[in-house]
Amino acid sequence: MNTRLIAARVLSRVLQDGQSLTAALDHAFLSIESGKDRAFIQALCYGVCRQFHRLDFVLSQLLDKPLKDADVKALALVGLYQLNFMRVKPHAAVSETVLAVRKKPWAKSLINALLRTYLREQEGLEHKADAFQSAALSHPDWLIKHLEQDWPEQALTLLQENNLQPPMVLRVNLAKTSRENYLQRLIGQEIAAEAVSFCPSAITLDKPVPVEVLPGFADGLVSVQDTAAQLAAGLLDVQPGQRVLDVCAAPGGKTAHILESQAQLKELVAVDIDESRMQRVSENLQRLNLQAKLTVGDAAKPEDWWDGTRFERILLDAPCSALGVIRRHPDIKLLRRAEDIGPLQALQKSILQAVWPLLAPGGILLYATCSILKQENERQIQAFLAEHGDAVELPITADWGVAGVSGRQILTGESAMDGFYYARLSKASSGAKL
Domain presence at residue 375: yes
Number of domains in the chain: 3
How are beta strands 408-410 and 420-427 bridged, if at all?
Answer: antiparallel
Domain presence at residue 350: yes
- Residues 355 and 426: their CA atoms lie apart, in Å, by 13
- Please check whether residues 255 and 379 belong to one and the same domain: yes
- Quick: pLDDT tens for 208-248: 999 999 999 999 999 999 999 999 999 999 999 999 999 99
- Please check whether residues 231 and 324 belong to one and the same domain: yes
- Quick: pLDDT tens for 399-426: 999 999 999 999 999 999 999 999 999 9
Domain presence at residue 157: no
- Tell me the three state secondary structure of residue 56: helix
Determine the pLDDT at residue 434: 35
Q: What is the mean pLDDT of residues 371-394?
A: 98
- Please check whether residues 205 and 236 belong to one and the same domain: no
Q: Helices 378-387 and 341-355 sit at what angle, rounded to 10 degrees?
A: 40
In the structure, what pLDDT confidence band is assigned to residue 318 with cuts at 50, 70 and 90?
A: very high
- Please check whether residues 304 and 354 belong to one and the same domain: yes
Query: How is residue 65 annotated by DSSP?
Result: S
Question: Are 428 and 390 contacting, i.e. CB atoms less than 8 angstroms apart?
Answer: yes
- Residues 315 and 283: their CA atoms lie apart, in Å, by 20
- Please check whether residues 207 and 248 belong to one and the same domain: no
Question: Are 391 and 367 contacting, i.e. CB atoms less than 8 angstroms apart?
Answer: no
Domain presence at residue 434: no
Q: Got the DSSP string for 401-433?
A: SEE-SSSEEEPTTGGGPPPEEEEEEEEPPTT--
Question: Are 4 and 15 contacting, i.e. CB atoms less than 8 angstroms apart?
Answer: no
Domain presence at residue 51: yes
With a cut of 50, say whether residue 432 has pLDDT above it.
Answer: no
Residue 74: domain span: 3-138
- Please check whether residues 412 and 290 belong to one and the same domain: yes
Q: What is the mean pLDDT of residues 144-165?
A: 98
- Residues 284 and 388: their CA atoms lie apart, in Å, by 36
With a cut of 50, say whether residue 173 has pLDDT above it.
Answer: yes
Which residues sit opposite 296 in a β-bridge? 272
With a cut of 50, say whether residue 142 has pLDDT above it.
Answer: yes
Domain presence at residue 307: yes
- Quick: pLDDT tens for 45-93: 999 999 999 999 999 999 999 999 999 999 999 999 999 999 999 999 9
- Residues 336 and 143: their CA atoms lie apart, in Å, by 9
Report the predicted TM-score, pTM, of the whole model to 2 decimal places.
0.95
- Please check whether residues 277 and 387 belong to one and the same domain: yes
Domain presence at residue 79: yes
Among 224, 246, 271, identify where a domain stops.
224
Amino acid at residue number 247? V
- Residues 76 and 59: their CA atoms lie apart, in Å, by 8
Among 138, 158, 186, identify where a domain stops.
138
- Residues 205 and 199: their CA atoms lie apart, in Å, by 15
Domain presence at residue 337: yes
Other Cβ atoms less than 10 A from the Cβ of 323: the count is 24
Residues 6+ positions from 398 with CB-CB distance below 8 Å: 198, 231, 408
- Quick: pLDDT tens for 29-39: 999 999 999 99
CATH number of the domain residue 196 falls in: 3.30.70.1170
With a cut of 90, say whether residue 1 has pLDDT above it.
Answer: no
- Residues 343 and 340: their CA atoms lie apart, in Å, by 6
- Please check whether residues 112 and 244 belong to one and the same domain: no
Q: Is position 370 annotated as part of the catalytic site?
A: yes
Q: What is the mean pLDDT of residues 15-22?
A: 96
- Tell me the three state secondary structure of residue 350: helix
Question: Are 76 and 59 contacting, i.e. CB atoms less than 8 angstroms apart?
Answer: yes
- Please check whether residues 319 and 335 belong to one and the same domain: yes
Q: What is the mean pLDDT of residues 317-335?
A: 98
- Residues 53 and 201: their CA atoms lie apart, in Å, by 37
Q: What is the mean pLDDT of the chain?
A: 96
CATH number of the domain residue 238 falls in: 3.40.50.150
- Please check whether residues 74 and 7 belong to one and the same domain: yes
Upstream peptide bond of 208 is cis (omega within 30 degrees of 0): no
Amino acid at residue number 191? I
Amino acid at residue number 119? L
Upstream peptide bond of 105 is cis (omega within 30 degrees of 0): no
- Residues 73 and 258: their CA atoms lie apart, in Å, by 45
Amino acid at residue number 381? I
- Residues 242 and 236: their CA atoms lie apart, in Å, by 12
- Please check whether residues 216 and 255 belong to one and the same domain: no
How are beta strands 391-394 and 420-427 bridged, if at all?
Answer: antiparallel
Among 184, 204, 224, identify where a domain stops.
224
- Please check whether residues 263 and 402 belong to one and the same domain: yes
With a cut of 50, say whether residue 102 has pLDDT above it.
Answer: yes
- Residues 162 and 326: their CA atoms lie apart, in Å, by 6
CA 381, distance to chain mean position in Å, is: 22
Query: How is residue 51 annotated by DSSP?
Result: T
For CA atoms 212, 218, 220, 225, the dihedral sign is: positive
From residue 31, alpha-carbon distances to 8, 45, 364 in Å are 16, 17, 47
Question: Are 238 and 215 contacting, i.e. CB atoms less than 8 angstroms apart?
Answer: no
